[in-house]
Amino acid sequence: MKRLLNNLSVKLGLTLVLAIFALLIIIIAFLGYRAGEEGSSSLGEVDRAADQMRLVNRSQLSIANAQLFYVDSYVAAYEGDASLARDYLDQAQTLQQNAQGYFSEFEAIASQTALVETLSTTFHGLMQQGLIPLQTALVAGDGAQFRAAKEVASDLNQQFIEASVAYNDYMADQNKLMVVDYESDMQLIGYIDIAVLLFAALMVIFVR
């Protein structure tokens, strides 16, 4: 009878150990799945933020180059080279369209925040009150209007640059925080895995 009870005790202990092992495997699998999901989400957010910053920077660069070509067109027209003036004007208009395209892509994927709203306001203000008047003045051959529009465009472009820098700095900080959070989560899960394995080992020793 005593031997039977001992056998039952051993079997019960083994069953308990196997049940604990199964539970630990489920826990580790769940933690791994959760870490993978959070990691994938964090990396996706980092990629999306990088795309947004890249579009803003491309738009800013296109605007800067467009302004330069508008000025070059004005100078060429002033010097009497109508053909070169037209070429510069065409390049400026293309760059202006590129800037609009880049920024439209940005607005399509960016979350609506105060910084995004400020950035959008400064961009559209620059386009409507700065670059378009430059283009109109050149097409009309109005030097006085061009010089006035150039001053306005320079001021508005500076506002757009400041808004872009503020937005890019914020997004860069957010990316760093997401990476740090992801690394912290992975480290915590690693500690949990080790603790679970140690607990399993102690249970085996205890049952024995």
Mean pLDDT for the stretch of residues 188-200: 68
Neighbours of 85 (CB within 10 A): 20
pLDDT tens figures, 114-173 = 999 999 999 999 999 999 999 999 888 898 999 999 999 999 999 999 999 999 888 888
- Tally the C-alpha atoms within 13 A of residue 145's C-alpha that lie toward its C-beta: 13
Looking at the chain, which runs of residues are DSSP E strands? none
How far apart are alpha carbons 31 and 189 in whole angstroms?
Answer: 7
Q: What is the pTM of this model?
A: 0.70
Read off the pLDDT of residues 54-80 as tens digits, 9 standing for 90 and up.
999 999 999 999 999 999 999 999 899
